[in-house]
């Protein structure tokens, strides 16, 4: 009893709830189906107790499953690491270079960002991954990337087992006209398998083969993306910040030279920042080794510049129709109903006459502009800063003079 209490405590028991989400449910279901079918088919195709090859094949299959689940659960439960609530830098003067977080009631350390799903500021946040129902960040980046590597390798092995099982079981039963296509199966068990390969078994194997091939392609592409991020020592968010920095410098012709501060100039050095023999990444998640021409707050200063520029470019809108925040609003037209954006962004309810300051917007265009996705909105009357979407027809752009005369520009949120 004491042993169990040291593992499951009231402090970490709430983390188990992460499993009850569509992402982990689907991911674990795919792993369970592919692993179970691969084990059963390996018994049918290559009985592990008859030959050395069969034993190695079976042990490798079990090894893939264990490693995949180990890295998956570590990525989910170890988590990315969070900035302490109410955090402040050691030196008070450094606060002028940092953004504050009203939710966490503190400052955001370099490379950290607030995740609306986790409701915390995340260390070196790359993205929030629905498949692990957690953020990918400082502490779990290596586990997450290892999972992205092992899953395609394990699924590729399983796919070979599925194909060979179907081939060996159907070759003698169905004539495909492949008289010249033969595979040497002398090392494989030639007696009747312990598990009969029936029509349901064939259907299940075919289904598992589709899952394995699809996972190999999809997760393999994600692994390539993450490795590009790691060897450049940039997160996905930081790559976007760097791109906007170059656009800002070019637009205003400031003559600045922006150097990304966290690229150490060597792919191997960047790689070792994430992957270590101990499994724990280097650093405390709040201070980082930087380029010789940069300092700890090079990127945070650039973020403040971009934020100020974003406020300058904000556009004032006014709600002309009420909207109750429904996911698929029926009363806003068929186009709006059927072309609702498939995102997890919240729906923003509106009341007629509400002033809205939009700092960014993305139009969903087909033949007509149907939806306007506001990603950073300041409701001028309340000073509330929210993100999400509402039907484009519910708002109307105001003239600049109207915004100036109302004095709403003074109410923009930093």
Q: Which residues of 319-352 are buried (b: 16+ CB within 10 A; e: fewer)?
A: beeebeeeeebeebeebbbebbeeeeeebbebee
Domain residue ranges in the chain: 2-79+140-231, 314-411
Backbone angles phi, psi at 333, to 5 degrees: 100, 155
Q: What is the largest CA-CA distance in the chain?
A: 88
Q: Which of 101, 104, 115, 129 is catalytic?
A: 129
The pLDDT of residue 208:
95
Label each residue of 244-300 as H, E or C: HHHHHHHHHCCCCCCCCCCCCCCHHHHHHHHCCCCCCCCCCCCCCCCCCCCCCCHHH
Closest CA to 186 of 55, 60, 50: 50
Question: Cα separation of 302 and 378, whole Å?
Answer: 22
Residue 48 has what DSSP assignment?
A: T
Coil, helix or strand for 408?
helix
Angle at Cα 102 formed by Cα 101 and Cα 107, nearest 5°? 30
Q: Which two tokens stand for residue 36?
A: 């179970």
The pLDDT of residue 196:
64
Question: Cα separation of 271 and 232, whole Å?
Answer: 8
Question: Cα separation of 72 and 26, whole Å?
Answer: 13
394 is catalytic: no
Query: Rounded to an integer, what is the distance from CA 180 to the centroid of its chain?
Result: 47
Residue 98 has what DSSP assignment?
A: S
Alpha-carbon separation of residue 58 from 36, 52, 53, 201, 273 (angstroms) = 12, 10, 9, 19, 35
Closest CA to 190 of 35, 57, 54, 60: 54
- Look at the pTM and tell me if it is higher than 0.75: yes
Strand partners, 374: 361, 388
Residue 12 has what DSSP assignment?
A: T
Per-residue pLDDT of the chain (414 residues; tens, 9 = 90+): 444 444 444 445 667 888 999 999 999 999 999 999 999 888 887 777 778 888 898 999 999 999 999 999 999 999 999 999 999 998 899 999 999 998 999 999 999 999 988 999 999 999 999 999 999 999 999 999 999 999 999 999 999 999 988 887 776 555 445 455 454 444 444 444 555 667 888 889 999 999 999 999 999 999 999 999 999 999 999 999 999 999 889 888 888 889 999 999 899 999 999 999 888 898 888 999 999 999 999 999 999 998 888 878 777 888 888 888 887 777 777 777 777 766 666 778 888 888 877 766 555 432 223 333 444 445 444 445 666 777 878 888 886 544 444 444 333 333
Coil, helix or strand for 50?
coil
Q: Which residues of 9-40 are buried (b: 16+ CB within 10 A; e: fewer)?
A: eeeeeeeeebeeeebbeebeebbebbbebbbb
Residue length of the chain: 414
Dihedral of CA atoms 385, 400, 389, 99 in degrees, nearest 10, equals: -30
The pLDDT of residue 159:
95
Dihedral of CA atoms 7, 11, 12, 17 in degrees, nearest 10, equals: 130
The pLDDT of residue 12:
59
Is the separation of the CB atoms in 208 and 33 below 8 Å?
yes
Question: Cα separation of 319 and 322, whole Å?
Answer: 7
Dihedral of CA atoms 190, 195, 196, 201 in degrees, nearest 10, equals: -120
Question: Cα separation of 374 and 392, whole Å?
Answer: 10
Question: Cα separation of 126 and 141, whole Å?
Answer: 8
| CB atoms inside a 10 Å sphere around CB 202 | 14
**Nearby residues of 207 by Cβ (< 8 Å), 6 or more positions away:** 33
Is the separation of the CB atoms in 212 and 159 below 8 Å?
yes
């Amino acid at each position: 009893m004491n042993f169990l209490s040291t593992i499951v405590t009231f402090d970490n028991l709430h983390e188990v709830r992460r499993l009850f989400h569509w992402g982990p449910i689907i991911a674990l279901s795919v792993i369970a189906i592919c692993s179970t079918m691969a084990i059963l088919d390996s018994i049918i195709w290559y009985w592990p107790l008859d030959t050395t090859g069969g034993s190695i094949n079976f042990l490798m299959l079990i090894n893939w499953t264990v490693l995949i689940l180990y890295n998956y659960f570590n990525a989910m439960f170890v988590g990315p690491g969070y900035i302490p609530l109410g955090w402040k830098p050691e030196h008070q003067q450094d606060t002028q270079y940092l953004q504050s977080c009203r939710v966490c009631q503190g400052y955001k350390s370099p490379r950290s960002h607030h995740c609306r799903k986790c409701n915390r500021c995340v260390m070196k946040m790359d993205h929030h991954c629905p498949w692990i129902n957690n953020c990918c960040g400082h502490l779990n980046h290596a586990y997450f990337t290892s999972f992205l590597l092992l899953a395609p390798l394990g699924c590729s092995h399983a796919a070979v087992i599925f194909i060979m099982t179907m081939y060996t079981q159907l070759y003698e039963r169905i004539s495909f006209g492949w008289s010249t296509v033969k595979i040497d199966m002398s090392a494989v068990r030639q007696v009747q398998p312990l598990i009969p390969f029936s029509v349901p078994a064939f259907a299940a194997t075919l289904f598992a083969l589709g899952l394995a091939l699809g996972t190999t392609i999809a997760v393999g592409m994600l692994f390539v993306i993450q490795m590009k991020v790691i060897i450049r020592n940039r997160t996905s968010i930081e790559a976007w910040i760097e791109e906007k920095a170059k656009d800002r410098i070019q637009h205003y012709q400031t003559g600045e030279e922006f150097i990304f501060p966290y690229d150490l100039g060597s792919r191997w050095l960047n790689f070792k920042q994430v992957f270590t023999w101990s499994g724990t990444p280097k650093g405390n998640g709040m201070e980082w080794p930087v380029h010789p021409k940069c300092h700890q707050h090079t990127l945070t200063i650039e973020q403040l510049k971009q934020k100020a520029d974003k406020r300058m470019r904000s556009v004032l809108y006014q709600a002309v129709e009420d909207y109750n925040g429904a996911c698929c609003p029926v009363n806003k037209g068929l186009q709006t109903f059927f072309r609702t954006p498939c995102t997890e962004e919240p729906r923003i309810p509106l009341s007629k006459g509400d002033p809205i300051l939009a700092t960014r917007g993305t139009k969903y265009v087909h033949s007509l502009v149907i939806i306007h996705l506001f990603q950073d909105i300041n409701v001028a009357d309340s000073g509330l800063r929210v993100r999400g979407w509402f039907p484009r027809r519910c708002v109307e752009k105001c003239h600049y003079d109207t915004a100036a005369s109302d004095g709403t520009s003074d109410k923009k949120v930093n």
